[in-house]
Amino acid sequence: MDMSEINLSLDYASVRGELLHNQPMKNYTSWRAGGSAERIFLPADLDDFAAFLRALPGNEPVYVVGLGSNLLVRDGGVRGSVVVLHARLNDLRLEQSDAGEMLIYAGAGVACAKVARFAALQGLGRAEFLAGIPGTVGGALAMNAGCYGAETWDIVSSVQTMDRSGGVRRRSSGNYEIGYRHVALRGEGSTGSQKAGGIENVPDDSLGGEWFSGAWFALPRDDAASVRQKIKELLARRIQSQPLNLPNAGSVFRNPENDKAARLIEACGLKGFRIGGAMVSPQHANFIVNTGGATASDIEAAIAAVRETVKKQTGMELKQEVRIIGTPARSGLRVSRAAYRKDGGYGG
């Protein structure tokens, strides 16, 4: 690894991970689209992640991703460093608290489905829904991911975080404001709150922001066979209702209060709507799929068009769930109405 290609401000002899340059982010996102990152770092472990952050110049933009399952990187790429945690911060173990509570610790890079399976093997319940979340623990924590009536922070006891200077701390769930697809660190010594720097996001304050590096989940004892059956049923529902055969980023929009984004999009006749290689899934209207060769510009334009159409026809403003980072390609977004077309095979 040639670490001389990056202007490290501190001694980097202890950095042990893999550093790559000018790598296409489509290889690290579930949409399989997007431009290149200046640098991608795959840490060997938590200490290596901290060492890398400490070695970076203070003004270096840093993005942290897991499976990239809730992320779109624009075609112009990303300036700065992208840290990929999937399968890197992958500790997964059973612990017991001083009060006798059963806990599962999972690193931020562990796939959510793996946590669900591990909990089932231990005869622990309430984590079954994680099998339906196509991302890592870090991403699930950052956005309070959920499905089938359950959310990540329902089972969080405490979390481990990493700040921009490489400092690690443990915080209880009570340190955070939790809502629907929302997590915010409560203000310390002040009123209000501040956003926690999430996985697949940049901390609002590049000096004081934090990323989630792991979590302890408090889970009750349950019948192992029953837990496995719940996971099996949940996965069957997911296979039946979601377009898992094509690259996608899960739900694109948040559900409005007392309604469903998919219902609104379908009601507007947008199933099968497409721009370039990006298409609103005929199977699930809140999914935009890459039918082959879609650019990030195609996908972003499709997102904008869906939002605009739903707003015009229903008056409802859909809020985006996926994160978009990076710089547009020089040609700009392909958003002209002439570029829009509907796949004739899929009616509204």
Each residue's pLDDT tens digit, 52-65: 999 888 888 999 99
Q: Which CATH number fits domain 92-187+206-225: 3.30.465.10, 3.40.640.10, 3.40.50.11740, 3.30.70.1520?
A: 3.30.465.10
pLDDT (mean) for 3-25: 69
- What average pLDDT is seen over the chain? 86
Beta-carbon contacts of residue 221 (< 8 Å; ≥ 6 apart): 102, 123, 124, 125
Q: Is CATH 3.90.78.10 what the domain over 248-325 is classified as, yes or no?
A: yes
R_g (Cα) of the chain, nearest Å: 20
In this prediction, residue 246 carries a pLDDT of 97
Which active-site residues does the annotation give? 181, 251, 321
pLDDT at 193 (0 to 100): 38
Q: What is the pLDDT of residues 156-211, one digit of tens each?
A: 999 999 999 999 999 999 999 999 988 988 874 333 333 444 344 334 432 238 99
Output the pLDDT for position 208: 35
Give 112's Cβ-side CA count (13 Å radius).
Answer: 31
Q: What is the pLDDT of residue 344?
A: 28
Domain boundaries, the chain: 18-84, 92-187+206-225, 248-325
Strands (E) in 97-195, as ranges, are: 102-107, 146-147, 150-151, 156-163, 168-172, 176-179, 182-186, 193-195
Decide if domain 18-84 falls under CATH 3.40.50.2000.
Answer: no
pLDDT-derived band at 13 (thresholds 50, 70, 90) equals low
Q: Report d(CA 15, CA 55) in Å as an integer.
A: 9
Please tell me the predicted confidence (pLDDT) of residue 341: 36
Determine which helix (DSSP H) or strand (DSSP E) holds 341, and give its type and residue range: strand 341-342
pTM: 0.85
Whether residue 224 has pLDDT greater than 90: yes
What was the pLDDT predicted at 3? Answer: 42
